[in-house]
Structure 1
């Protein structure tokens, strides 16, 4: 019984930690930094994509409305390839959940993103291409 309780509490701590990380990363990604510091947004989005590997974390992100927030960040920073790649990683992980797929498709988020992305990324940042 004690080992079962310990296992459940360990899983609960992991989930709480993931939820806190998700909240912090979303706050960092939404925060208005100086224009020369977009890497902070990209790093926070990359950390979000790592958290999205867990099914419970994906459901938490869906529940708090993180999907439209990530899409908005991507649309606002569509000239920065780092943020585009980090957001794409998030959407790739989120798309593994059927519930998140429904949100992405129902709100036409993917269509909005594809319609505004540049056709040629080599003009954005030649050092990354």
Structure 2
């Protein structure tokens, strides 16, 4: 990703800077041991700083990747829940329809029985 590329670019830049500093180091070594020591320490500092930047970039990229995977997993869970809810709704509606139909049949039977009894009582 962009973060990793930026880290790698920073690493290349630091490597170039380190190479430049090494050349300077060679020039000044005979003139000043103290100056050479400072430049060497700066090279090491830049290399460490660059390595840390690369590590940070890679860690950030991994976090983004992990978050993407988590979002995909949550979307999948949500879709499964939606499908289960739809199936449950259909099943409940079907049961309700069956109960209404059975109640209507029962009411029809009772109505016929009431009519039969009324007819018997009139005779």
Per the TM superposition, whether the score is higher than 0.5 is no
TM-score (norm 1): 0.32
Q: TM-score, normalised by structure 2?
A: 0.33
Higher alpha-carbon Rg: 2
- Choose between structure 1 and 2 for higher RCO, CA contacts under 8 A separated by at least 6 residues: 2
Q: Which has the higher helix share?
A: 2
